Structure 1
């Protein structure tokens, strides 16, 4: 019998088809469908696909007595109840490395869009405004780019920023071996030394709200904030205030607290560009992710090694 798998998140048909080659797949991309799938198939389910921001609750985990492995799409796992995971001895793995190049490109796209004011210039040009839209705009060239979270995504961002001859600094919980970039002991120190501050770290209690009023003030009136990590890392109220008060020059965010609903405060914030958490959703990244999930499930159920375990 093929192991039964519940897919908790939206998945392309091609990804479902790949899993169906080796598993019985129950597609449940909404909470309502998940609850129904757990009622109908929970006693037989041995694997679940979710993501970090949706996760899996302890109640949901305990309702699947044969659950052996949870796999996230992307690298986050902050909303998975790890107490229940450890209680039941469940394997948790993520998609580390499968979308770092994609998220990094999104970060650079947001930087360029904010610096060059591309959306506003597009609207102005379409409206027949010409000279007023042609004000000089700053470059990435020779800027100081600070990265909070120098994991695979952060390293990919740094590599791309170096192509613009930017100077790279970073903050992690501890210095990273084998890199030449300057390490800063806190987000505040990094912000003070940056023109562009990029958030690419995971969410969770340890990073919640670490980019707040003090850090934004340190970034300064010509500074930019870019968030492609997790929305919880940035204090939304502080960001809105900083944009309205021109404490910083602008921001580009692919993630925010409470997504997918965009708060009215962000909708009305000036000098802000928002994208709908699509950094890792390039076709190339989707293909890489689904292949890794399939490989890891097959490895787990055949007694092999699961890549990128996080438990």
Structure 2
């Protein structure tokens, strides 16, 4: 357990340093100070940093140097942060708090929050394209995978399904799984894939990593559903009970907390099965089990 905590802490420290480096103020951008401040406000608001950790962990599991994956790892956290900024906007989920702090649009105004999210959606591709640690082939493959995971077939498409589900009364488990696969699973899956690509993995291992990521993403989202009704605002850092207020169908509204937990347990076991091709990687196994048991 101590080795896991030490490695996790090392990955987090590396991530935080890179996020600061990649979005630092410069003399050439003094006129954009407020934009950079808004971007950093949300980037530095905390969070689990699970996606960059997965990039590093899969790179390491395949014998690669995780430090060479610094650009893709920072990129995925920026993409995730952009999605949170936009999710919180009045036109979307209308949440005033994120991770215990005022949402970006509350701290910087709605227009600046939109622009900060926009900037965080494109900076990642510049970082990857300019990454000296990666070959041209790796860059193209990573950019292609990441763009697909973010766009209409990925996270943004999943958000559309989520919004439209709020107007429906016939949402079933198949619909929920499809929505979670896009909205949550795509970014988690591509994190795992990018780590493999950075390590020079073959297509079989990249696909196994993606399969793992989609299953982990589903379990992660089901736990989110459970925490929305069992946790507190203080623990989560955001309002609880929002799913019911917004008329959202979740695994909890479909099956109740106990059955939802059983499904999360089963999906987590499936995710662990996908790791067999990577050998006995203790870090990934413990990370998977830890996410299942999280309380926030």
Q: Which has the higher relative contact order, 1 or 2, with Cα contacts under 8 A spaced 6 or more apart?
A: 2
**Greater per-residue helix proportion:** 2
Q: Give the structure with the higher percent strand.
A: 1
